[in-house]
Amino acid sequence: MSNYFNTLPLREKLNQLGVCDFMDSSEFLDGVSALKGKKLVIVGCGAQGLNQGLNLRDSGLDVSYTLRKEAIEGKRDSWKNATENNFKVGTYEELIPTADVVINLTPDKQHTAVVNAIMPLMKDGATLLYSHGFNIVEEGMQIRKDLTVIMVAPKCPGSEVRAEYVRGFGVPTLIAVHPENDPQGKGLAQAKAYAVGTGGHRAGVLKSSFVAEVKSDLMGEQTILCGLLQTGSILSFDKMVEKGIDAGYASKLVQYGVEVITEALKQGGITAMMDRLSNIAKIKAFEISEELKDIMRPLFQKHQDDIMSGEFSRIMMEDWANGDKNLLAWRAETGETAFEKTPAGDAKIGEQEYFDNYLLMVAFVRAGVELAFETMVQAGIKPESAYYESLHETPLIANTIARKKLFEMNRVISDTAEYGCYLFDQACKPLLSDFMKKVDTDLVGKNFNEGKDGGVDNRKLIDVNEAIRSHEVEQIGATLRKAMTAMKAIKTA
């Protein structure tokens, strides 16, 4: 198998990278009818598998699960999840031949083995559904020509997919049809019906491509989402301890700070996040984030280049073949960091204090989101996709850090994201060492405004505000957030 993207001529590369359309709600008027009466068989029953299946069944569709023989015989958790919720469960041989749609919700790493096992069993003209395009795009998996290949990717953890559905809403969802495998032209209709079945159509659906999804998803997760949040958290904690700040306080500020800060990001983009700071603090955060962007830009570009060329996938798959040697070593290293080992203290930290005493993280987040977005757009990814894979997902990862710190955050994200996160972190820390030498507790640990005159130069403030607000991620973000919450907005009117 060879990298699918690299087999394409440049014209077609750009063509597939540049797909991203926000779909109008009128596109979903047919509901689930394209899948009505069809047999849907889900491979795997973890968090995404179970919750998507529950939603699809509650939408009136016929859902069952297929698991490996060992999982069934060993009555593993996936088997219990499915049977205790009264789903039919069977082996590949039992269920795949009857399936009209096979939904592959196993981890990336298993895709090649799983698809090789199920493809010969699939009936003529059936559909194979992925929720991530890595196997098709990076591994270059060739799917039988009679089969339709589509992607439906809810952009939230499995539990959220269910929680939003039962309250009558849904989560934003990305759909795509693989252009090499749409022999009957039914791919898009089925993908849309699936999005309706999981509730995604109520919260907004983006039509993307396998290529655009993979290249932007990899870039976002390894740079801003997981990579930079990890690097920034560890450096911030170590700096505070070095400067004599109480370790319990430092641990708490880092663990919960990123969630509080990015909540503002979620509501109103970089602008809202920066506006939570005083004028003098905002100008400072702007200046150091500009500096950080300059320092880190080459690293972000390297990551994007390696993703585009397939180099990233190649070395990661090498590590897979090598028994995850690097991944496991880096994972252990993360578990041993001082931040990870210091429990959050009892000190009460007010909401505003997280901004005032953790200006450094505000700067990291602005720098990381803007850099990731800029780098993706320069590489030919549409701004809508780039927004999704950078700014939109940052609060979701931050939320995981607040709940589980870094070691567990890395465990719950995909193996691909985890690998990329460590790769970034390893390279980024040395890159920032000179910068960090200059950082003192006014940027992290203590209130930046303390003992300072709050006065600012009008012109300077106007310029800084203008620079923040006019960035393209803010323009597209404002449009997308409005579209995604158009219906929700009524609720808070």
Partner 1 sequence: MSSPVNMNDRKSKSPLGDLGVSVAISSLNLKYQQKSVLKDLNWNINRSENWVLGGTSGSGKTSLAKIIAGLQNAIGEVKINFDTGSHLPAEVLFVESWYQFKNLEGVANFYYQQRYTSQQAKDTLTVHAELVGFGKENGLHFDHVEPILEALNFATFASSQLIELSSGEHKKLQLVKALWLKPQFLIIDQPYTGLDASSRKNLNILLDEISADGVQLILICNDSELPSSINHFAEIKNGQLVEVDSIDTVSATEKHSREIPYFLKESPVYSSQNIIKMVDVNISYGEKQVLKNINWEVKAGEKWLLQGHNGSGKSTLLSLVNGDHPQSYANELYLFGNRRGSGESIWDIKQHIGLISPEFHWYFDATSTVWQSIASGFYDTVGLFQQLPYTKSAQVDELIAYFGLTGSKNELLNTMPLGKQRLVLLARTIIKNPELLILDEPCQGLDIQQTQHFNQLVDELCSNGMTLIYVGHFESQLPTCLEKRILLENGEVKIVESLNTKTRHNEVRSNLLHGTI
List of residues contacting partner 1 (CB under 8 A): 32, 36-37, 47, 50, 54, 57-60, 62, 77-78, 80-81, 84-86, 159, 162-163, 166-169, 202, 403-404, 487-488, 490-492
The 8-class DSSP code of residue 227 comes to I
The neighbouring-strand residues paired with 205 are: 173
Tally of CB atoms within 10 A around 83: 15
Pairing assessment for the beta strands 101-104 and 173-177 based on DSSP bridges: unpaired
The neighbouring-strand residues paired with 174 are: 153, 206
**d(C-alpha 400, C-alpha 406), whole Å:** 8
CA nearest neighbour of 426 among 274, 302, 240: 302
Comparing CB distances to partner 1, the nearer of 58 and 246 is: 58
Minimum gap (Å) between residue 44 Cβ and partner 1: 13
Comparing CB distances to partner 1, the nearer of 169 and 435 is: 169
Comparing CB distances to partner 1, the nearer of 23 and 292 is: 23
Minimum gap (Å) between residue 475 Cβ and partner 1: 26
Minimum gap (Å) between residue 432 Cβ and partner 1: 30
- Segment (H or E) for 350: none
Minimum gap (Å) between residue 22 Cβ and partner 1: 17
Ligand-binding site membership of 78 (annotated): yes
Ligand-binding site membership of 68 (annotated): yes
Ligand-binding site membership of 108 (annotated): yes
The token pair at 135 is: 């196997």
Ligand-binding site membership of 125 (annotated): no
Comparing CB distances to partner 1, the nearer of 186 and 404 is: 404
User: For residues 468 and 375, is the Cβ–Cβ distance under 8 A?
Assistant: no
Minimum gap (Å) between residue 63 Cβ and partner 1: 9
Tokens 């959220």 -> residue: 160
- The residues near 2 (Cβ < 8 Å, ≥ 6 apart) are 140
- State how far the alpha carbon of 299 is from the alpha carbons of 71, 168, 306, in Å: 42, 42, 11
Minimum gap (Å) between residue 68 Cβ and partner 1: 16
Ligand-binding site membership of 385 (annotated): no
- State how far the alpha carbon of 331 is from the alpha carbons of 252, 409, 416, 420, 433, in Å: 22, 11, 13, 12, 22
CA nearest neighbour of 423 among 337, 292, 309, 300: 300
Ligand-binding site membership of 221 (annotated): yes
Ligand-binding site membership of 109 (annotated): yes
**d(C-alpha 481, C-alpha 474), whole Å:** 10
**d(C-alpha 336, C-alpha 12), whole Å:** 45
Minimum gap (Å) between residue 485 Cβ and partner 1: 10
Q: Which of 111, 132, 201, 303 is catalytic?
A: 132
Comparing CB distances to partner 1, the nearer of 170 and 368 is: 170
Ligand-binding site membership of 389 (annotated): yes
Tokens 């607040």 -> residue: 402
The token pair at 259 is: 């969630």
In the residue annotation, 132 being an active-site residue is answered as yes
Minimum gap (Å) between residue 162 Cβ and partner 1: 7
Comparing CB distances to partner 1, the nearer of 168 and 244 is: 168
3-state secondary structure of 102: strand
3-state secondary structure of 205: strand
Comparing CB distances to partner 1, the nearer of 113 and 489 is: 489
Q: Phi first, then psi: give them for residue 246, nearest 5 degrees.
A: -55, 130
Tally of CB atoms within 10 A around 156: 21
The neighbouring-strand residues paired with 272 are: none
CA nearest neighbour of 130 among 110, 153, 109: 153
Ligand-binding site membership of 278 (annotated): yes
Biggest distance spanned by C-alpha atoms of the chain: 74
Angle 171-257-431 (CA atoms, 0-180°, nearest 5)?
100
Ligand-binding site membership of 46 (annotated): yes
Comparing CB distances to partner 1, the nearer of 11 and 491 is: 491
Binding-site residue set for Mg(2+): 217, 221, 389, 393
| Binding annotation for substrate | 278, 414
Binding residues: 45-48, 68, 76, 78, 108-110, 158, 217, 221, 278, 389, 393, 414
Catalytically annotated residues:
132
